[in-house]
Amino acid sequence: MPAMSGMASPPASASATTADAPVPQGGTAVSISDFKFNPATLTVPVGATVTWTNNDEEPHTIAAKDGSFHSPGMDTHGTYSFTFTTPGSYDYMCSIHPFMTGTVVVTK
Amino acid sequence: MSTENDPGGMTRRQLMRHSAWFGAAVVLTVAGGEVISHVAGSSGAAQQATPALRFAQISDSHIGFKGPANTNVTDTFNHAIGQINGLGYTPDFVIHTGDLTHLSTPDQFDQVKHMLGELNTPHVFTVPGEHDSTDDAGQKYRQAFGAGTRGDGWYSFDVAGVHVIGLVNTLNMQKLGHLGADQLEFVEKDVAGLSSDTPIIVFSHIPLFAMYPDWGWGTEDAAQALSYLKRFSSVTCLNGHVHQLFSKTEGNVTFYSATTTAYPLPAPGQGPAPKPVTLPAGKLRDALGIREVSYTKGQQALALKDQKLT
Amino acid sequence: MKIMDLAIRTAISATLAVSGVVHAYLYIHGYRDIPAVGPAFLVQGSVFCALAVLILAGGPGWLQLFAAIGAAGSLVAFALSRTVGLFGFTETGWQPAPYAAITVVVEVLTLVLVVTAALRQRPRASKYLLPDLSPDGAAEPSARQG
């Protein structure tokens, strides 16, 4: 079964990986579990690539409120990466479960 | 009361007397129940005739889901379709209240469309769920099921004197379901010319009432849509999304949430999130099901019958 | 006193009949289809009407006890339906009017009357201990008018 039905792919590498692939630790990783983004607010320097990993059974997406990025549906253990090239505060949510929200703060 | 005062307990005569009264109570209760049921079954002269409209509701098939909560959603969906085909009558239509697919893939849409084609009914209606638009704002859903709909996929039609409206509240969501200005305008204009005793049925995926907002189980602008329906004597809203039976009456509107054919979700607040619940072996089918709805002229309320998956 | 007992019994029967009939009526007119609550209305209507008949006919006291329990249960269920919900069913205010208000009133009356009747059944120790000082002057104990 296709885990990621490819629609718009982000500028940087969007990796569809299984749980075996190493998840970037430290300041650029967001984990999704129990329908929550962890950390809810992530601060990264401009140019960093943030990787989200879905550890829930349900699929999720990462959709920026300002529309600057929108992941395909991420199934269990699916990942999505986006490189932030412009500083600012990016609120995002899961478009399937919009009560799930998070923020990426990109500093200069 | 008996005047005997036997300190050792009841005498045989007392026991028989009490048993007789108890027996009378049981007999009277059962008889009363039979009479009331009979009256309910034949209330209104029109009830003796066949209902004017009979349809079935099926929901949340989530084709493409693979998880311990249901290792074969295709099988349970097929079974539900078979159950509808085995009702003993041909429903005037069948409505699928959304989350037809699990991940909005082209294959999943094809599969669901093919399976729905197996239903013995003149027409199948659908409304999309949020799982049907994970990555394309509903484009693939509309390609498969949007024929004859407007905007993001809403529509209305009349059948047997009943006015039916299908709403899309799973796009452009913020925290809850969202209808949007265009769709609200559609509802307002759509019902403007109807007489107030026209029964109204509204289908949507997400509940149009605040069932549990923390989990997104509600629609932020539903109140406005319902305000256009305030003057009607009978408004019934059928939804899916929550994967469990639930009903609520608010004023002239009754909301009925249907259960799923895929996997159960927790009751509101019973757990950290609305994630699939894995039931003990053999219990899954009890949580899944279909629903029959019928409308009889002269009766304001629709008659619903929920059936578990057998 | 016997008249009084009969009057109370009749009143209890009447309150039960009203509540039972109203629940049966609502069941017939729409409440039938509500999950769990619908069948509960049918049971309540049947049981209350049956109890009304039997209590009027002079049945044993435990019938009145069941009636009181039933009335209390109905009131609790009503309160739940207006607040946290009863098997997922909620309504607002006093809907359906006037039926909701009627049943609340008669069910409270049922409770009051059953308690009254029960208190009247307590053995009157006093009638054996105190002389009867009624105007007719008889000094022996006699049943007092309730």
Q: What is the pLDDT of residues C64-75, one digit of tens each?
A: 999 999 999 999
CB contact under 8 A, C53 and B37: no
Restricting to B residues 45-84, those with a Cβ less than 8 Å away from any Cβ of A are: 64, 66-67, 69
**The 3-state secondary structure of B151-180, one letter per residue:** CCCEEEEEECCEEEEECCCECCCCCCEECC
Alpha-carbon distances of A98 from A58, A67, B27, B169, rounded to whole Å: 14, 14, 55, 12
CB contact under 8 A, B135 and A97: no
pLDDT digits (tens, 9 = 90+) for B107-127: 999 999 999 999 999 999 999
**The 3-state secondary structure of B240-293, one letter per residue:** CCCCCCEEEEECCEEEEECCCCCCCCCCCCCCCCCCCCCCCCCCHHHHCEEEEE
Across chain A, which has 108 residues, the per-10-residue mean pLDDT values are 42 42 64 93 93 92 91 90 93 92 92
Domain ranges for chain B, please list them: 11-41, 49-308
> How much is the pTM?
0.67
Residue A23 covered by a domain: no
DSSP-derived secondary structure for A52-76: EEE-SSS-B--EETTSS-B---B-T
Query: Phi, psi (5° rounding) for residue C60?
Result: -65, 165
ipTM: 0.78
CB contact under 8 A, B24 and C59: yes
Tell me what the mean pLDDT of segment C26-52 comes to: 89
Structurally, chain A folds into a number of domains equal to: 1
**CA–CA distance, C54 with B116 (Å, rounded to integer):** 55
Distance from CA of B225 to the nearest CA of A (A): 21
Residue A4 covered by a domain: no
**Which band of pLDDT confidence, cut at 50, 70 and 90, is reported for residue B206?**
very high
pLDDT digits (tens, 9 = 90+) for C62-101: 999 999 999 999 999 999 988 888 887 777 778 777 888 9
What confidence score (pLDDT) does residue C28 get? 86
Does residue B175 belong to the interface with chain A, where contact is any CB pair within 8 Å? Answer: yes
Distance from CA of B41 to the nearest CA of C (A): 8
In the structure encoding, which two tokens stand for residue C76, read together?
Answer: 């609790």
Give the architecture-level CATH label for domain B49-308. 4-Layer Sandwich (3.60)
What confidence score (pLDDT) does residue B77 get? 97
Burial class (CB in 10 A: 0-12, 13-18, 19+), B3: exposed
Residue A9 covered by a domain: no
CB contact under 8 A, B275 and A99: no
**Which band of pLDDT confidence, cut at 50, 70 and 90, is reported for residue B221?**
very high
Residue A7 covered by a domain: no
What confidence score (pLDDT) does residue B7 get? 54
Question: Which domain covers residue A54, as residue numbers?
Answer: 29-107
What confidence score (pLDDT) does residue B120 get? 94
Contact B79, B309 (CB under 8 A): yes
The CA angle B184-B188-B194, to the nearest 5 degrees, is: 145
- Tell the residue number behind the tokens 């539900």, with chain if given: B80
Contact B79, B307 (CB under 8 A): no
Tell me what the mean pLDDT of segment C121-143 comes to: 55
What confidence score (pLDDT) does residue B213 get? 94
Nearest to C89 among B32, B39, B248 (CB): B248
CB contact under 8 A, B175 and A98: yes
Mean of the per-residue pLDDT values of chain B = 91
Interface residue ranges in chain A relative to chain B, Cβ cutoff 8 Å = 1-2, 5, 7-8, 34-36, 56-59, 61, 70-73, 75-76, 93, 95-99, 101
